[in-house]
Amino acid sequence: MDALYGVALRLTGKSADAEDLVAEAVTKAWCALDSLENRAHFRSWLFRILRNLFISNYRKQSVRPVEISWSLPAASDEEYDICSWLAEQPNDFLQWWANPEREVYNRFLGEQIMSAIEELPEAFRVTVLLINVEGLTYDEAAEALGVPAGTIRSRMKRGRTLLQKVLWQQAQDAGLAVQCQDKGEPYEQQLTRS
Amino acid sequence: MNNNSHDHKNGDEIGCLDAIEWLYAWLDGELDEQSVSQLEQHISHCRSCFSRRQMELELTARVEKSSKSRAPGILQDRLRKLMDEF
């Protein structure tokens, strides 16, 4: 129930709405239990009911903060390959992470990570939560969200990149991060150099 | 930095592009044992991929820690009452 509530809270942004959403989802699942052919899929089936209810009943009235419009490549989820991903990478974030000053940032990160997650576009936020927090497999998350497993894989990759971009931006806004003076060779160039 | 190839079923060494792809699958619990072994072998001598692995591991742990929610007691009571009605 904690997992259902956690996802509902991230979807609606409001505790009272999350409670209503979970109650409705459980009620609907209970009434439709006989239609579930494979009980092994119960968890993903329940998440799917929750998400469908959110889309039909709650999305318009959601009090979620406005999501930041991070520019994303036009390619579809399945076409999002490793090269596209590398081109999006905030490499300063990775380089700074390895810097001793990161200890300062660590304290900042503890406070900011939730707001960074909240700023992710819904599709990525929900996917990251289902996989990283609730421990669903790609197949279970795919079933819960009604998309192919390849899309889940792609969303995880992009979700992580977007999260790092948000965190990096927040650190810069707070004056905690400066661009690395000696960047050396960009990471993607290192990788593509054979 | 290693050359990148895309077929490593025989256990030969992987390159950084594959290592990054596999790293994400590993973080999400989706990588098979043989690939895990090859990934570890690559990371053991590649500083870039080692750094990325450490960063992604810490970030994933922080996301998990920050996002765990407990359903309020009032919701549990509400669901019990709902179930009693059926």
Match 């990588």 to its residue by tokens: B31
Q: Which chain B residue has the Cα nearest residue A188?
A: B17
> What Rg value do the Cα atoms of chain A yield, rounded?
19
> Matching CATH topology for A2-61 and A77-180?
no
Angstroms from B21 CA to nearest CA on chain A: 7
Where do the structural domains in chain A lie, given as residue ranges?
2-61, 77-180
Whether residues A98 and B55 touch (CB distance < 8 A) is answered with: yes
Q: Determine the average pLDDT of the residues in A99-124.
A: 75
Whether residues B82 and A23 touch (CB distance < 8 A) is answered with: yes
- For residue A104, what pLDDT is reported? 62
Q: How confident is the model at residue B3 (pLDDT cuts 50, 70, 90)?
A: very low
Q: Is B30 on the interface with A (CB under 8 A)?
A: yes
DSSP conformational letter for B13: P
Cβ-count burial A92-130 (b if 16+ within 10 Å, e if not): bbbbbbeeeebeebeebbeebbeebbebbbbebbbbbbb
Residue A133 · residue B68 · CB < 8 Å = yes
Q: What is the 3-state secondary structure (H, E, C) of A27-51?
A: HHHHHCHHHCCCHHHHHHHHHHHHH
Q: What confidence tens digit (pLDDT) does each residue in A162-171 have?
A: 888 888 787 7
Among A179, A149, A191, smallest CA distance to B18 is for: A191
Whether residues B66 and A128 touch (CB distance < 8 A) is answered with: no
User: May I ask the CATH class of domain A2-61?
Assistant: mainly alpha
Q: What confidence tens digit (pLDDT) does each residue in A69-90 have?
A: 444 444 455 555 656 666 666 6
Q: What is the rounded CA–CA span in Å between residue A157 and residue B52?
A: 13
- For residue A62, what pLDDT is reported? 56
> Measured between CB atoms, which of A1, A82, A114 is closest to B66?
A114
| CATH topology classification for A77-180 | Arc Repressor Mutant, subunit A (1.10.10)
Where do the structural domains in chain B lie, given as residue ranges?
16-85
Q: Does the pLDDT of residue B73 top 70, yes or no?
A: yes
ipTM score for this prediction: 0.76
Q: Which helix (H) or strand (E) holds A186?
A: none
Whether residues A129 and B83 touch (CB distance < 8 A) is answered with: no
Among B59, B6, B7, smallest CA distance to A82 is for: B6
Q: Work out the mean pLDDT of chain A and round it to a whole number.
A: 75
Whether residues A97 and B55 touch (CB distance < 8 A) is answered with: yes
Tell me the H-state helices in A61-121. Answer: 82-88, 91-97, 102-119
Among A112, A103, A145, smallest CA distance to A127 is for: A145
Please count the residues of chain B. 86
Structure tokens, B33: 């044992």
Please count the residues of chain A. 194
Q: Which residues contact A10 (CB under 8 A, 6 or more apart)?
A: A117, A118, A125, A126, A129, B67
Q: What is the rounded CA–CA span in Å between residue A62 and residue A11?
A: 8
Other beta carbons less than 10 A from residue A163's beta carbon: 23
